[in-house]
């Protein structure tokens, strides 16, 4: 299953995985799992493009580890 984006009025509101809606909050463990998936699998874990700010957060996390 791939992550998808929940957008409203052209702005990403959250990330969807199945029935779960994941907020874009660094303190959220599910969001951290999204970042880890991006680090490991890259764009293959998303249906569509990864938003630039989410990719930047994944890059920062990878650099910090």
Write the burial class of residue 20 (CB in 10 Å: 0-12 exposed, 13-18 middle, 19+ buried): exposed
The model carries a pTM of: 0.91
pLDDT digits (tens, 9 = 90+) for 10-20: 899 999 999 99
- Mean pLDDT of the 13-36 span: 96
φ/ψ of residue 2, rounded to 5:
-105, 155
pLDDT value of position 54: 96
Q: What confidence tier does 65 reach under pLDDT thresholds 50, 70, 90?
A: confident
């Amino acid at each position: 299953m791939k992550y998808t984006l929940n957008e409203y009025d052209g702005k990403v509101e959250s990330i969807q995985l199945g029935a779960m809606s994941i907020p874009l909050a660094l303190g959220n463990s599910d969001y951290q799992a999204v970042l880890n998936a991006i680090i490991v699998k890259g764009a293959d874990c998303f249906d569509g493009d990864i938003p630039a700010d989410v990719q930047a957060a994944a890059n920062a996390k990878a650099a910090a580890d």
